[in-house]
Amino acid sequence: MSLFLAALRLQLRLAPRSPGTLQVWATAPLFTAVFLSIAEHAHRTDLASFSVVAPTLMGQWALTLGIAGEIIAEERNQGTLEAVIATPGRFSVVVVARILAVSLLGVTTMAEAWLVAGLGFGRWIDVPHPVVLAAALLANAAAMAGTASILSSLFVLMPSARIVQNTLTYPLYLLSGVLVPLSALPAWAGAVGRAVFLSWSADLLRAALDGPAVPRPVTRIAVVALLGLSGYLIGALLLSRVLRRVRRLGTLTHT
């Protein structure tokens, strides 16, 4: 636990000064304005919650995916990757703690989106279920950290994480129902999207903002948490195997 908290605190100090974090904070209001403009033009004021939830999840995922690659890349470029992996602490714990830190920071994009909706469009979105919203945001942050840790093993093997990062952003937003409901996608795409934690998070966050009672909130939050935990366990297993392989081949610090 001490290792986890130390890694979490380290990343919380580093992240606010990171260009990636600043970029997400700068673009989240722009995405919100675009989505709200489309909804207003189509006279679909009922989609206001989509315009707030989508930039939030997009910003969080961009941050977590970015740090999942940067942890490996930065340590490798500085020549410290071998030393970090050689320490007694589990490297997978360090990875998931640092990813969780930026995922938690990504929650602030919801406040940005909410302010843009209110100040820019006069759409002050009520929060009728604040407890459900807070629990869903925390569960989603944890699930993002666990899922992104799966990719860390790929980043150890690859000289650059940029290709994977670029591939797993916008296609995933669409497939998981972040931008549009899964019901609007083909049946096969909706079925695949249900296996992605983001689809559960998006539905739950929108339900927490839409007014009526949120059906089965505990069950849905548990699904998000379970998918995140599954991601972490898979990521830890893959990372352990990959590290054994690169140690054997002597390719840990290849460039």
- pLDDT score, position 79: 72
Q: Could you read off the pLDDT of 198-221 as tens digits, one per residue?
A: 999 999 999 999 878 899 999 999
Mean pLDDT computed over 99-121: 92
* Position 190, amino acid: G
Q: Does residue 110 contact residue 200 with C-beta atoms inside 8 Å?
A: no
Integer angstrom CA distances of residue 21 from 17, 105, 157, 179, 219: 7, 8, 25, 21, 32
For 107, the token pair is 């929650």
- pLDDT score, position 159: 60
Q: Could you read off the pLDDT of 131-149 as tens digits, one per residue?
A: 999 999 999 999 999 888 8
Q: Could you read off the pLDDT of 36-62 as tens digits, one per residue?
A: 998 888 888 778 888 899 999 998 998
List Cβ neighbours of 253 (8 Å cut-off, separation of 6 or more).
76, 79, 81, 82
In this prediction the pTM is: 0.87
Confidence of residue 252 (pLDDT cuts 50, 70, 90): low
Q: State how far the Cα of 24 lies from the Cα of 67, in Å rounded to an integer.
A: 12
Q: What angle separates helix 130-157 from helix 217-249, to the nearest 10 degrees? A: 20
